[in-house]
C-alpha cells in the first residue's frame, strides 16, 4: 500500500490524526531511561508500546540519532522496526536535499537502508532534489513549506511575484505531485499560514508540527489544515508526549482533542473517543466480532458471534488486546498467569511477555503418557494465579478450568476476560467467591460500533434485544 493510503487507513482505524515525534533529546530524557545501557532505544520502545493504539505515525528526527554516533543509529534501526511491528508507518524527519545525484543517495538511505515510509525534504535546491525522493512512488515525501520555528519568517515569508515564498512553493509542489506522493510541512505555530497554504494546495496532505511544547494549538491547527473531505492532516507532537510522565495518557489526550477539533471543524457530532473504542474497532476489522445469523455451541441462534481465535492471524490487534489486559492486571496481586485453552492461549502468551510474568495453562484433558500432568508449565503450591480467558458467557468453562489449578495447590482469586456477554457468567463466578474483571461488554461493543457507523442502528437494536432475552 502506498504511504498516504496506508496513513489514511491507520488514521481511520485508530481514530487519530496524531503523529508522535521520537526525538530522544537527553536534556528531557526521563531519569529512568538515562540509566539504561541503551537509553535511546529503551525510551523509544517504552513510548511506542504505550502510545501505539493512539497514533497513526511516528516521526524520528535523524539529528538526535546521528548525534549519538553508531549507538544512536542502531537505536534508530530498532525504533523503526519496533514501530513497524506495531503496524505504524514511520516518517524519517531528515530534511534532506542536495544536487540530483547526492539527493538520490539520500533517498536510497531513507527508503532502502532505513526503510522509512516517508521522509521530510528541504526544497531550497528545487524540483530536481525533490524528484529524487518522489521517484519512490510508494513512499511519502513531505516538503518543508512554512515551518514552526521563529526564523521561518526570515526567508519563507519573503515576497516573490506578489505573494509569500511559501505559497509559491506550495503551488510548485502541487504541480510536481504527479505520482500523488507529495505533501507539505506547515507549522502549527502559524495557523494563518496553514490556512493560506490549504487554500492553494487543496488536495495535498499536510504534516503539521509544533503542537504542544512549541505553542501550537490543536483546535486552530485542525480547523486550518483539514481538507474539505476531512482528511489530509497529520499533526505531530514530540516533547508533550515523550517527556510526559504517562506516555500513553498524553498521547490519548492529544488524540481525543484532535478528534473533537476535527468533529467541530466539520460540523459533525463528536465521535466516540473512549480509550476502548480503538480496540473495539480493531476487533471488528479483524473479524473477531461478526454480525449475522449464527448457531452457538449451545444450539441457540445468535445475531452476533465472537471469535477471538482469529487474533493469531492479526498480530497488531493481538498486541492491542495484550496491552489492554496488562493495564487491567496492574491493580491485581498475582505470581503467575493461567490461560484457558484454546482461544486464551495466544492472548495469555502475549500478556505474559508484556508483563514479564510466567504462564501456565490447564489441559482440557489429562495426558495419558509421559508426566500425565494436568497443568502445563511450572509453578509452586501456594502461588497466586490470575486466570485469563477470552469471553465469559455462563462461567461454566471457567469453573472447569479452575478446578485442576486449585487441586494442584494454586490460589485463584481473579479472572480476567476480554468480553463479558452479559449472560450471567460474572454473577455465577462471583457467587463462587471469584472476582471477575472484563475489559469490554458485548453491549458496549455494539454501542461503539453503531456510534462510529460501523453497524446499523437496526443491528445494534437486534443484538441488544437478543441480550435482553437471555439475561439471567
Number of other residues whose CB lies within 10 A of the CB of residue 288: 25
95 is catalytic: yes
Distance CA 118, CA 182 (A): 10
Q: Cell match 456510534: residue? A: 451
Q: Cell match 509544533: residue? A: 210
Residues 256/258/259/262 CA torsion (nearest 10 deg): 160
406 phi/psi in degrees, rounded to 5: -70, -35
User: Which is the catalytic residue, given 59, 95, 367, 368?
Assistant: 95
Question: How buried is 195 (Cβ within 10 angstroms: 0-12 exposed, 13-18 middle, 19+ buried)?
Answer: middle
Grid coordinates representing 238? 514530540
SS (H, E, C) 110-131: HHHHCCCCEEEECHHHCHHHHH
- The total number of residues shown for the chain amounts to 472
Do 448 and 272 meet the contact criterion of CB atoms below 8 Å apart?
Answer: yes
SS (H, E, C) 27-82: HHCCHHHHCCCCHHHHHHHHHHHHHHHHCCEEEEEHHHHHCCHHHHHHHHHHHHHH
The residues carrying an active-site annotation are 95
Amino acid at each position: 500500500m502506498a504511504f498516504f493510503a496506508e496513513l489514511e487507513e491507520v488514521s481511520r482505524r485508530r481514530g487519530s490524526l496524531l503523529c508522535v515525534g521520537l526525538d530522544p533529546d537527553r536534556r528531557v530524557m526521563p531519569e529512568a531511561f538515562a540509566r539504561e545501557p541503551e537509553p535511546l532505544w529503551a525510551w523509544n520502545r517504552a513510548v511506542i508500546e504505550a502510545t501505539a493504539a493512539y497514533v497513526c505515525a511516528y516521526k524520528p528526527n535523524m539529528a538526535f540519532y546521528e548525534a549519538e554516533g553508531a549507538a544512536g543509529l542502531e537505536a534508530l534501526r530498532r525504533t523503526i522496526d519496533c514501530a513497524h511491528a506495531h503496524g505504524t508507518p514511520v516518517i524519517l524527519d531528515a530534511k534532506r536535499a542536495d544536487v540530483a545525484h547526492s539527493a538520490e543517495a539520500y533517498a536510497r538511505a531513507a527508503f532502502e537502508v532505513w526503510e522509512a515510509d516517508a521522509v521530510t525534504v528541504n526544497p531550497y535546491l528545487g524540483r530536481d532534489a525533490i524528484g529524487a525522493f518522489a521517484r519512490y512512488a510508494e513512499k511519502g515525501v513531505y516538503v518543508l513549506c512554512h515551518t514552526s520555528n521563529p526564523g521561518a519568517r526570515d526567508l519563507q515569508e519573503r515576497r516573490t511575484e506578489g505573494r509569500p515564498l511559501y505559497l509559491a512553493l506550495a503551488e510548485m509542489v502541487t504541480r510536481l505531485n504527479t505520482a500523488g506522493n507529495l505533501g507539505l510541512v506547515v507549522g502549527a505555530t502559524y495557523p494563518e499560514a496553514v490556512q493560506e497554504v490549504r487554500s492553494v494546495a487543496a488536495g495535498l496532505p499536510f504534516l503539521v508540527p509544533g503542537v504542544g511544547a512549541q505553542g501550537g494549538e490543536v483546535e486552530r491547527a485542525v480547523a486550518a489544515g483539514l481538507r474539505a473531505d476531512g482528511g489530509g492532516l497529520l499533526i505531530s507532537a514530540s516533547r508533550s508526549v515523550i517527556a510526559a510522565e504517562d506516555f500513553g495518557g498524553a498521547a490519548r489526550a492529544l488524540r481525543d482533542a484532535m478528534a473533537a477539533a476535527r468533529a467541530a471543524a466539520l460540523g459533525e457530532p463528536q465521535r466516540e473517543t473512549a480509550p476502548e473504542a480503538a480496540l473495539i474497532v480493531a476487533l471488528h476489522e479483524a473479524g473477531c466480532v461478526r454480525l449475522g445469523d449464527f448457531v452457538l455451541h449451545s444450539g441457540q441462534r445468535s445475531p452476533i458471534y465472537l471469535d477471538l481465535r482469529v487474533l493469531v492471524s492479526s498480530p497488531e490487534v493481538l498486541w492491542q488486546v495484550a496491552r489492554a489486559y496488562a493495564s487491567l492486571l496492574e491493580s491485581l496481586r498475582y505470581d503467575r498467569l493461567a490461560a484457558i485453552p484454546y482461544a486464551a492461549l495466544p492472548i495469555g502468551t502475549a500478556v505474559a511477555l508484556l508483563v514479564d510474568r510466567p504462564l501456565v495453562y490447564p489441559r482440557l484433558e489429562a495426558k495419558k503418557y509421559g508426566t500425565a500432568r494436568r497443568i502445563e508449565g511450572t509453578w509452586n503450591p501456594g502461588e497466586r494465579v490470575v486466570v485469563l480467558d477470552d469471553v465469559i458467557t455462563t462461567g461454566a468453562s471457567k469453573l472447569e478450568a479452575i478446578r485442576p489449578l486449585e487441586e494442584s495447590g494454586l490460589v485463584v482469586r481473579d479472572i480476567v476476560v476480554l468480553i463479558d456477554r452479559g449472560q450471567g457468567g460474572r454473577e455465577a463466578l462471583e457467587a463462587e467467591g471469584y472476582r471477575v474483571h472484563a475489559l469490554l461488554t458485548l453491549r458496549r461493543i455494539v454501542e461503539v460500533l453503531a456510534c462510529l457507523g460501523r453497524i446499523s442502528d437496526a443491528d445494534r437494536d437486534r443484538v441488544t434485544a437478543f441480550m435482553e432475552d437471555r439475561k439471567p
